[in-house]
Structure 1
Amino acid sequence: MKKFFWLALLPAVMLSCGSAPELTEQADTIFFNADIYTVDTLNPTAEAIALKGGRILAVGKEADVMAYRGDSTVMEDLNGQFLMPGFIEGHGHFSGLGYSLINLNFLNSKSWEEIVAEVAAAAEGAAPGEWIIGRGWHQEKWSQVPERSVLGYPYHDELSAVSPNNPVMLRHASGHSLFANAKAMELAGVSAETPNPTGGEVVRDSRGEAIGVFEERAMNLINAAYDEYREGLSEEEKAKEWFRAVELAEEECLRKGITSFQDAGTKYFEADRYTQLAEAGELDLRLWSMLRHSYEEMKGNLEGFPILDKGNHFYTCRAIKSEVDGALGAFGAWLLRAYNDKKGFTGQNTTPIPEVKNIASLAMEHGMQMCVHAIGDRANRVVLNIYEEQMKAHPEQAGLRWRIEHAQHLDTTDIPRFRELGVIASMQGIHCTSDAPFVEKRLGEARSRLGAYPWRSLLDEGVIIANGTDAPVEDVDPLASFYASVTRKRADTGLEFFPEQRMTRAEAIHSYTLGNAYAGFEEGFKGSLQPGKAADLVVLSKNLLKCSDEEILEAAVLITMVDGKVKYRAE
């Protein structure tokens, strides 16, 4: 028996010795002479990485990885450049990002005059009755307050004068208010008698006249008129525009090192299209999305959900999105105590709480994650209460990884509850420094210092933070958000916002890679550079762990690779 045993093992012994090189898999691509950060705690740094069939074959010392080199292996000498897992956008609006690249974009506008001038130019080339659409303005970020204004918002007069025959709808950067000209308000039937809807406000002057700004649910008045206009467009025209927007969003993300995108608000028709694109191999980056509809629209209509790993892990829809409040910049964040600069006003509860509870029940019933937009401290407390209630009612459901989207302003007593309930804080680093000039004006010093974007407090509690930009609310650039996360400084003015709450470099990278993957139940497939995981990576001109703060903003994306294929390479 022993003789037979050893004879049986002999071929294996021979193969493990002299024949080993012949058995080694040959890589499709090897990156070498590289400065690699893997986000793998057991093997954090490496010199080379081998890829095959869209997966990581090996990562480690260059001499070891070179064993996977074959005659057809593409060899990429990085000359010491920094390689890390591809950035995962943890909360954005994918088609919305694309539309922002088609329509007027005011993210960098410094004054109301600039915006009026851009609308005037657009109106000159617009067809009669065509709507002029834009997004990105923020009254708190202009160099000066318009001469005639209410709460910093200008009157519509100048906008109406340059576009008298074309309705204009310009969304606030936050997406939680909009500006309309006289033509748009006329089509929407807005008058002095138009009441404020529940969860929204038509901003008026002291005489009761609408100045053109519509906050939160009041936006639906203008949206309805715009939707009626779009009903006149053919389905082919609308589909063509949507596919163009998705194409532009892909290009923008890949150019900025993003290999996966978590879409915070997907409609049924979009989920269908994304699934088809993924299965046809026509998506250039991975999408993970949250279904966004009312309870009545989803009740009885979730057959086939969650959608998992379609097209070789290129599309997943395993979450449901809702919201309970608006944005701080538009006075929509729902607060425990009143705004410092809007006395007696505590913000807006934009979605009735019973509706949110019903949607949470649907998520629990169908095994989907619940993701709720909450910005103010009251909003966050209410969502935590809803989650706790659901979890107590379903003790058999563990490890839900339910999320709060934004979690910007927290009462300090609620911070430990994130850990206790296993709730993920899906926050956006760039929001902190973008909002910094007006946060204290809205909340006062104490609330701002203790509970505004409290990353350090959450991390010290052991809470998982998922990072992102909320694009097109902000530029989708992960490097700008990373800089904000580790410095809490504005890149333009140097304004520093309570730096004691900043992240370390390693924590910020984790929040943009493995943290986001974990927040979508995908940490076993992507988010770190380990054998068997997706070959999704980015090569940068600066080492984000070691370079100076200023050099973070100078870093260039050199290569973006998804599924082992180079999707972007800097010229």
Structure 2
Amino acid sequence: MILRLLACATALALALPAAAEPVLFTRMNGYTLDGSGTLQRFDALLVDEDGRVVATGGEAALRERAGGARIESMAGRTVLPGLTDAHGHLMGLGFALRQADLVGTRSLDEALERVRAFADARPGDGWIVGNGWNQVIWQLGRFPTASELDAVVADRPVWLERVDGHAGWANSAALKLAGIDRHTPDPVGGRIERDADGDPGGVLVDAAMGLVSAKIPPADAAEARAALESALVTLASLGLTSVHDAGIDADDWHLFRQMADADRLSLRIYAMVRDTGEDFDQIAANGPLLASGNDHLTVRSVKMWADGALGSRGAAMIEPYSDDPHNHGLLFRTPAELRNAVDKAFAQGFQVNIHAIGDAGVRQVLDAYSIAYKAHPEARGLRNRVEHSQIAALADIPRYLPLQLIASMQPTHATSDMNMAEDRVGPQRILGGYAWRRFLDQGTRIAGGSDFPVELPNPFFGLHAAVTRQDHENHPDGGWYADQRMTREEALRAFTLDAAWAAHQEARQGTLEPGKWADFIVIDRDYFSIPAEDIWKIGVLQTWVGGKQVFLR
């Protein structure tokens, strides 16, 4: 699926120079929120020579103000502010576009056949790397095994990450290269799945993944740049004008800065440094990086992890899993270790964004913030976030408000997980799962995203899931726990204004208001008038960033 998406985007993307002249865009069916979140309509948009919005409104009035501006007609098409994905992985997407793609496979046999075909097309003795498998969809009732991979590729190492990125599947050659055998202990925060005899079964969960992934030769600079460019092309074709990259290292930071300085970024990147180790020390040495490359790159936040993912039962739960009564999942750190990491980031003035999926993970994160604020009261103003906030104890949801936390959530996680989530946590705990309405009703902002390449990066899939709580076949009838869905305006706000707020950027982007960047998209149907079930079908015709057209279909 992702490879097919890239092929389409590559054929359609254009790299057009920015016009150093004012432009009046006319004949549009325009929508934007204002700074208070109220929906506004307009049929013309005036942009200055620097790529910022002068005004929106009626065409006749703006023609009087336009002077010698170039006129460009939108031919009655619908225009929205550029969309933001508040939680994605740019390099992960870029490399995934070049790996074995198991997304959407309906059975183990289908996945194995894709691996065989990928390997046959790339002869040699190098690694086969891929992503996107999901044993829940395959209805295996278990994880796949190394021996099953050996049946299609036995003479070279194979490493395939699960769709959520929290488990990996290795063949015997990869396990041997990593030195993993029955005597290898589980690392802290990870688990080696084992067979009945205690031998490694082939799947490694969370921290154990590094035992194999560390053996894969790293990409060189040219490969990394090509991967980033592939991701940028794809995202522009989907209407994304900004992405919050959830976890960069020093190599990514150097690449992003080079691209920003060369004016080669076709969207705005708000990057989170991956944890507070050596990479953070290097990146944060001179403090946060703000609005570099004509406001295309900002690095002022840190991404941390409290636990794993629900599908691999690595998300940390207060009580055992309903479908695995001896398993509580995995906390990656002790409470003291997490608090120390938060304290270090706050001391450097960095916003903190912590991955938490299980209710025990969420609770540990809330406790860490609560304690850290006592030492750093000013850090409340950093707009700190809980990434995913996926299964929260009902009693913990109200704690977000006094802690001034943002819930960074991915609507398609609900529709992807509804085939197994209640099995994992049972009918009571699920009431605090994917609980968008509970957060919104208490006044907590939701920053909308996808977690690509875990999910497909199309933001209209997220808007559709937020509004309907259904898959693309309109299942289940009425929506899955439909009382938690969003309105269309709320969903749009999550992917525009509130995503910008979550990045301290609401004064510069997120709406089409005077003085903000002219980041907008032209789409092929009216988001606000089409049946809700068709929102995911919306196609992007044009994408503009700072008054520069970066995609044209």
| TM norm structure 1 | 0.90
Q: Distance in 1 between matches of 2:486 and 2:464?
A: 10
Which one of the candidate residues 216, 227, 231 is aligned to 1:245?
Answer: 227
The alignment partner of 1:287 has SS state of: strand
Partner of 2:542: 559
The alignment partner of 1:49 has SS state of: strand
Which one of the candidate residues 63, 68, 71 is aligned to 1:66?
Answer: 63
1:537 equivalenced with 2:520 (yes/no): yes
Amino acid corresponding to residue 492 of structure 2 in structure 1: I
Bigger drift between 160-169 and 547-556 goes to 547-556
Q: CA deviation at 1:191?
A: 1.2
| Structure 1 residues without counterparts, runs of 5 or longer | 1-25, 146-150, 231-236
The alignment partner of 2:33 has SS state of: coil
The alignment partner of 2:97 has SS state of: helix
Q: CA deviation at 1:225?
A: 2.2
Q: CA deviation at 1:398?
A: 4.2
Poorly superposed stretches of 4+, deviation over 4 Å: none
Is 1:335–1:376's contact at 8 Å kept on the other side of the alignment? Answer: yes
Amino acid corresponding to residue 256 of structure 2 in structure 1: Y
Which one of the candidate residues 89, 92, 113 is aligned to 1:93?
Answer: 89
Amino acid corresponding to residue 500 of structure 2 in structure 1: A
Partner of 1:411: 393
Written as runs of structure 1 = structure 2, the 5 A alignment for 1:184-223 is 184-223=174-213
Written as runs of structure 1 = structure 2, the 5 A alignment for 1:450-465 is 450-465=431-446
Partner of 1:477: 458
The alignment partner of 2:508 has SS state of: coil
CA shift digits 1:71-114 (9 cap, x unpaired): 550312332x2111101010000111111101112112111111
Amino acid corresponding to residue 542 of structure 2 in structure 1: I
1:498 equivalenced with 2:481 (yes/no): yes
Partner of 2:491: 508
Percent of aligned pairs with the same amino acid: 36
Q: Distance in 2 between matches of 1:92 and 1:398?
A: 24
Is 2:101–2:114's contact at 8 Å kept on the other side of the alignment? Answer: no
Is 1:184–1:222's contact at 8 Å kept on the other side of the alignment? Answer: yes
Partner of 1:28: 22
Amino acid corresponding to residue 552 of structure 1 in structure 2: I
Q: Distance in 2 between matches of 1:565 and 1:117?
A: 43
> Root-mean-square deviation (CA), in Å?
1.7
Partner of 1:134: 130
Q: Distance in 2 between matches of 1:499 and 1:457?
A: 12
Amino acid corresponding to residue 31 of structure 2 in structure 1: Y
Is 2:273–2:280's contact at 8 Å kept on the other side of the alignment? Answer: no
Q: Distance in 1 between matches of 2:68 and 2:303?
A: 49
| Structure 2 residues without counterparts, runs of 5 or longer | 1-19
Partner of 2:404: 422
| 128 and 294 in structure 1: CA distance in 2 versus 1, 3 angstrom threshold | farther
Q: CA deviation at 1:384?
A: 0.7
CA shift digits 1:362-383 (9 cap, x unpaired): 2211111001100001111110
Written as runs of structure 1 = structure 2, the 5 A alignment for 1:289-438 is 289-295=271-277, 298-299=280-281, 302-438=284-420
Q: Distance in 1 between matches of 2:378 and 2:84?
A: 31
Partner of 2:14: none
1:115 equivalenced with 2:97 (yes/no): no
Bigger drift between 388-397 and 158-167 goes to 388-397
Q: Distance in 1 between matches of 2:69 and 2:196?
A: 74
Q: CA deviation at 1:305?
A: 2.6
Q: Distance in 2 between matches of 1:141 and 1:305?
A: 44
The alignment partner of 1:262 has SS state of: strand
The alignment partner of 2:182 has SS state of: coil
1:270 equivalenced with 2:252 (yes/no): yes
Which of the two has higher C-alpha Rg?
Answer: 1
Is 1:27–1:50's contact at 8 Å kept on the other side of the alignment? Answer: no
Q: Distance in 1 between matches of 2:221 and 2:472?
A: 38
Q: Distance in 1 between matches of 2:232 and 2:529?
A: 29
Q: CA deviation at 1:124?
A: 2.1
The alignment partner of 2:215 has SS state of: helix
Q: Distance in 1 between matches of 2:422 and 2:263?
A: 48
Partner of 1:83: 79
Amino acid corresponding to residue 242 of structure 1 in structure 2: A
Partner of 1:518: 501
Q: Distance in 2 between matches of 1:395 and 1:71?
A: 51
Q: Distance in 2 between matches of 1:43 and 1:403?
A: 26
| 404 and 71 in structure 1: CA distance in 2 versus 1, 3 angstrom threshold | same
